[in-house]
Amino acid sequence: MKEEENLNPWARYQKYTAARIGLPLSGGSIGTKEILNFKYDHAMARDAVWAECDFEQIKDQIKDWMPSLILKSKAITRQEYLLRPDLGRLLDGSDYQTLEKIQSDNISYDLVFCIVDGLSPLGISKNLVNFLSKFKENDFLKRKKMAPLVCIKNGRVAIGDQVAVALKSKVVVVLIGERPGLSSADSIGAYLTYDPVIGTTDERRNCISNIRPEGLNFDKAKDKLMYLLETAFSRKITGVNLKDRMNDRIEGQIINEIAESQ
């Protein structure tokens, strides 16, 4: 490795990131291999945007431990979804009525999870079930009144607010396929909002990004989301008012454990 680093000073950094740093040159241009890799990743990103998410399969995979339903936004086609972001923020009228029927008994929920294909249906298809399985036996969630999981086709983040309002849920977590990058076509983002209303703006949300095995892995993302959820419920806030001090808490626990062992 020392010899490789002497020949390429970027080598020590390249092993920690998928970013295109220190690319080898051929004359005054980037080498053919790297150009082909770039084109491949670009094609993967484009395909991820236009992919179809099989929500029926997801529903079948989680049916034994999480009830769910499948809805759609007002964006009928994928092209319309990309051209009209406003339609992706609104539920189809008949689907909104479906939620109102679920809520007809005047039940209030603590929490609803919304699964949205977003700009990377590939990310949801590939990673969602494995990520959700991390929450199956969570004690904190067992103490909360959970709404059925809501899957939404051709949706944006803000559509979760409409779902939460219809179900009278205190908190909504939107798990959405994130905009693909040139090294991450399959990542999921988690958006957490306390007391959501229609028209909620993004400064009232907390976001966890790049959830995927090659990014923020499922265990770390689960721990981060549960920390934010527990804090949101206890302080009744999210967004810019809810600072992520998870690392401070971990460091404090380590210090206490060291002190107790001495």
Q: Specify binding-site residues for adenosylcob(III)alamin.
A: 157, 178, 207
Q: What are phi and psi of 27, to 5 degrees?
A: 70, -125
The single residue listed with the structure tokens 């904190």 is 140
- For the chain, list the strands marked E by DSSP: 25-26, 29-30, 68-72, 109-116, 149-153, 169-177, 188-194, 205-211
Pairing of strands 25-26, 29-30: antiparallel
Pairing of strands 169-177, 188-194: antiparallel
- Is the separation of the CB atoms in 180 and 120 below 8 Å? yes
The single residue listed with the structure tokens 């990103």 is 45
Annotated binding site: 157, 178, 207
In Å, what is the CA distance from 189 to each residue of 7, 99, 123, 207? 38, 24, 9, 7
Closest CA to 242 of 252, 231, 251: 231
Largest CA distance in the chain: 71
The single residue listed with the structure tokens 């295109």 is 20
